[in-house]
With several copies, the nearest count.
Chain A
Amino acid sequence: MRRVKKILNDPAKVVEETLEGMNLAGDGATRLLPGNIIVADREKTDKPALLIGGGSGHEPMFAGYVGPGLADGAVCGQVFAAPSPDAIVAATKAVDCGKGVLYVYGNYSGDNMNFDIGAELADEDENIATRTVRVRDDVAAAPVERMDDRRGIAGDFFVIKVAGAASEAVDTLEELHRIAAKAEANTRSIGIAVSAGSIPETGEPTFELGEDEIEIGMGAHGEPGAKRQKLAPADEIVDQMMDLLLADLPFKKGDEVALLINNLGSSTPMELFVANRRVRARLADAGITVHRTEVGPFITSQEMAGYSITLMRLDDELKGYLDAPASSLAYSN
């Protein structure tokens, strides 16, 4: 099989070296702890804390979103593999300020199991209360009746942004959980891909697509989507995506939304902006207004070529937290 060309050292150490580089890029804003944990380097304040995490290989997600107004820490697994319970417990201890810790992560069986074990250990061994919000924004993964079978993709970012801002503002873990859960419940995404990413350690593309094929509903690890079809003009592809997305929550006339177009890796920014043009036309047609747009690499899937579209339906509370100041390696506001 074709081996992917990358500029790396030992692929087995890529996660450790990546996190070292990310921590250094923070120029003092973060600290790197054993177990592939990055935490914000600031005085502990008396607040419920936010811990995020998941498999690596999606940079800048998760460690790029650690800082004031965002997460207090990120616990990072190996490439496409959830972090282990002991790392999760160590990260939980590191971020807890005495008011407990909210976990926000994508809904995958690996993450669910490892964070759940971590939560049990944090409770039993460390006496730290935790709550969990699993992001299930990918409409392609399962019908709406089976929300729990849906995986978390770029919607992670909006939930993290809202939860990060809320964690600075509210007093209890319950309240933080309520707000993050509301953000999650109002977020929907759909992804597509035209070529595969690869895991550095294997160096092989995780799937194969024909020269003129596109996968609608592609997941952030190259998991298959809703369907595979012939490549078509951008406007047609975006229309298919928007049809699935708008129908799902559903988003309705008069809704106000935040919009995120996420680069899964090596799509050109041009393609994302061309898509945005059509997304906005569709939203205007549907009578939906956009409060805020983000375009760029928020959660990548190695060098996969493709992108996803995310909408979060807003109310005044969510809007306030979304607009609140934030500062981190990958997102400032």
Chain B
Amino acid sequence: MTTELDVAGVRGMFVAACDAMLENIELLTHADQAIGDGDHGVGMKRGFAAALAFLNENEPANVGEIFKGVGGAIMSASGGASGAIFGTFFRAGNKSIGDAVMLDGAGFAAFLKAGLEAVEKRGGAAPGGKTMIDALDPAATAASGAGEDLEAVLAAAAAAAKDGVEATKSMIATTGKARTLGERSLGHPDPGAISLSIVLDAMAKAAAGADAATA
């Protein structure tokens, strides 16, 4: 098991997350066409491409700098609701993790908790509103009960986020551009929730892969 990752490892985990997002743009576009304005894919593409550029062009001194750089890149390149939301989310990791040079499972769980709080504060949405919070909130809860081991925490968070995406299908949107759909939003998953799930899934796989490579 990958118990923790150093700065290079965290960087690799983020690169994997960016790659996974960039591979799933069409999926996100279609999800947002169904219940939003169709731009979530292109927004995430801009944001995660900028994050990847940040990761490729900088030598972060600590884990916090990675979270801050990725969040900042997404916030300024994505724009839209998801730029602010995912930017705020990742930047919260900088505050919770700070200048640590290792990231373990407890650190990641703390980040998810801080990220959730920051997102809720910024956007005013709550669980059940059919937003990425409905993937993040269960992920944060699962992570906080999954111990110290990073791989285990990530696996738990990713699984919970995936279930969260499923759960958004049966929610009626109360926030964002899907709000006026009312009952017509039923049956469709929330695009932002899908994005969070992709990120956590890619990170979990990267951490598992990092283990395999160093085992």
Contact = CB atoms under 8 A, between A and B. Distances in A.
A273 interface: no
Given A78-B42, A199-B39, A86 B76 contact: yes
A80 B122 contact: no
A83 B123 contact: no
Given A80-B80, A113-B85, A223-B180, 18 more contacts: A77-B80, A78-B39, A79-B42, A81-B42, A81-B79, A82-B81, A84-B83, A85-B84, A109-B123, A109-B176, A110-B82, A110-B83, A114-B84, A199-B38, A202-B29, A202-B42, A221-B177, A222-B38
B37 interface: yes
Contacts of A140: 180
A149 interface: yes
Given A86-B76, A113-B123, A207-B33, A81 B43 contact: yes
Given A113-B122, A114-B83, A199-B38, A81 B175 contact: no
A80 B181 contact: no
Contact of B38 (A83, A202, A224): A202
A81 B80 contact: yes
Dominant secondary structure of chain A at its interface with chain B = loop
Nearest to A11: B42
Q: Number of contact residues on A: which range applies?
A: 35 or more
Interface string B170-210: 00000111111100100000000000000000000000000
B175 to A, nearest CB: 6
A248 interface: no
A78 B43 CA distance: 8
A204 B46 contact: no
B122 A81 contact: no
A79 B178 contact: no
Given A55-B79, A202-B41, A82 B84 contact: yes
Contacts of A229: none
19 contacts: A78-B39, A78-B80, A81-B79, A82-B83, A84-B75, A85-B76, A108-B176, A109-B177, A110-B80, A110-B81, A113-B123, A116-B122, A117-B88, A199-B38, A207-B33, A221-B36, A222-B37, A223-B181, A224-B181
B80 A204 contact: no
Contacts of A117: 75, 84, 88, 122
Contact of A84 (B39, B77, B85): B77
B94 interface: no
B2 interface: no
A198 B75 CA distance: 24
B1 to A, nearest CB: 37
A81 B78 contact: yes
A221 B29 contact: no
A151 B36 CA distance: 13
A55 B80 contact: yes
Given A78-B46, A78-B79, A109 B175 contact: yes
A271 B178 CA distance: 28
Interface in A72-95: 77-87
A219 B180 contact: yes
